[in-house]
Amino acid sequence: MNLNTLKQISELKKAKKAVILAHNYQIPEIQDIADFVGDSLGLARKALEVEAEIIIFCGVHFMAETASILCPNKKILLPDLDAGCSLADSINVSQLKEWKLKNPGAVVVSYVNTTAEIKAESDYCFTSSNAVKIVESIDKEKKILFLPDMFLGAYVQKKTKRKIEIWPGECHVHAAMTYEEIKNLRDEYDNNEVLIHPECACGSEAMYYSEKNNDKNVHFLSTEAMMNKAKDSTSENIIVATETGVIHKMQKASPDKNFIPINTSATCKYMKMITVEKVLESLKTEGPEVKVSREIAIKAKTAIDRMVETG
Ligand code: SF4
């Protein structure tokens, strides 16, 4: 990393009362300069909590929007506005309105990986760490429209033993992960443990076999829970089924363990758009800013507050 760039970032951060928040999927250089690294829920909570005038949000667009809704008085900067999300793009607001019309009275629960407009049409927002809890908290008589990730939906349906209507969306990174890849790696590495994000396409099969074989070394976890599990695990080899960016933080916390991504090409091109140079540019120009309109923000806030309040 260029030392002069780092020095400028540090000086500008201080002068402008700015903090850098980074998602676990960011490139290692960004994670290393961030004041806080976490998952969507952790970052949303941190954005609320930090005393700062400017937040440099190193993540993707919907995350910066969530921070803007939660912190209308802070300037939220996303160093590259093209950092989007294929999962968030898998449903638009007209499709959701049509779905709602066909299901009057249904409760809409939306993943945090959605646009602010979708959140404004939702009753609850959730992350992978509290999806099960949120669905369980909803009146059993109510129909639930769950969006937009079908793999996470299938996982929640199984965990809650509750029939839910699931939107057929997916994240291109997690959808490409197969059970075959896990199986091959487990055959190759002894003394292993497997951490699987419920957004992964391999989830249903992995769950079926782990339950069938009473296998205690396969865990379905949110990104943050994966971090904790990786730290506490006594296994030598840890197979990780999610975006490869998480391995940087895991390896830093447990340098003696061997972390193996189920597929080295499981990277999110959107997350990797943020670079140290773009962070510096954002600090210099105080842009590009992500600002959600007041009308949408007010409507979306109830659903987001429910997500932040649910542990
Ligand atoms: S990894 Fe998938 S869900 Fe996450 S930001 Fe990238 S495209 Fe969206």
* pLDDT at residue 140 greater than cutoff 80: yes
Together in a domain, 35 and 100: no
* pLDDT beyond 90 at 1: no
C-alpha–C-alpha distance, residues 264 and 303, integer Å: 35
In whole angstroms, what separates CA 195 from the centre of its chain?
15
For residue 84, give the DSSP letter.
-
Kindly report the protein residue whose alpha carbon is nearest to atom 5 of ligand 1: 85
Give the pTM: 0.96
In sequence order, the β-bridge partners of residue 144 are 107
Are the CB atoms for 135 and 107 separated by under 8 Å? Answer: no
Give kind and range of the element (H or E) at residue 188.
helix 179-188
Ligand 1 touching residue 193 (CB < 6 A) = no
Instruction: Please indicate whether residue 115, judged by its CB atom, sits closer than 6 Å to ligand 1.
Output: no
Residue 299 domain flag: no
CB 101, CB 123: distance < 8 Å: no
Same domain for 255 and 193: yes
CATH number, domain with residue 107: 3.40.50.10800
- Say yes or no: CB of residue 85 within 6 Å of ligand 1: yes
Q: What is the pLDDT of residue 183?
A: 96
Question: What are 35-44's pLDDT values in tens digits?
Answer: 999 999 899 9
- Whole-angstrom Cα distance, residue 122 to residue 84? 20
> Helices in the chain by DSSP H: which ranges?
3-15, 28-33, 40-49, 61-70, 93-102, 116-120, 131-137, 150-160, 179-188, 203-212, 223-232, 246-253, 276-285, 294-309
* 3-state class (DSSP) for residue 182: helix
- In tens, the pLDDT along 238-267 reads 999 999 999 999 999 999 999 999 999 999
Domain of residue 185 covers: 174-261
Q: Could you tell me the two tokens for 295?
A: 């009308």
- Closest-CA residue, ligand 1 atom 8, reads 85
Question: If you measure from the C-alpha of residue 70 to the centroid of ligand 1, how many angstroms do you get, rounded to a whole number?
Answer: 21
**298 is a domain residue:** no
Tally of structural domains, the chain? 3
